Amino acid sequence: MDTNNWRPTPPSGEPSMDSGDWRTTLQPDSRQRIVNKIMDTLKRHLPFSGQEGLSELRKIVVRFEEKIFTAASSQ
């Protein structure tokens, strides 16, 4: 029994426009707010040094959010 609901992301980096895909109805700023929330949480719990450390942390968070967004089967 295959219970894998993972949908690959097209090369453009955006999800396909399936009519039943919740990603198509997501507000444009929603993903940025999620990235900001993850950043706030990690800044409280992880040490980082200066702007370079903050920039590196943001890159990691953006990649993490992208993977979660792509793999999520529901909101």
Is 33 within 8 Å of 62 (Cβ atoms)? no
Give me the residue label for tokens 């993977």. Answer: 67
| Number of neighbours of residue 65 by Cβ within 10 angstroms | 17
- Into how many domains does the chain fold? 1
Give domain status of residue 39, yes or no. Answer: yes
Mean pLDDT to the nearest integer, 43-50: 89
In-domain check, residue 45: yes
Q: What is the pLDDT at residue 75? A: 77
Mean per-residue pLDDT for 16-23?
68
21 falls within a domain: no
User: Does any domain span residue 14?
Assistant: no
Question: Which domain, by its residues, includes 37?
Answer: 26-71
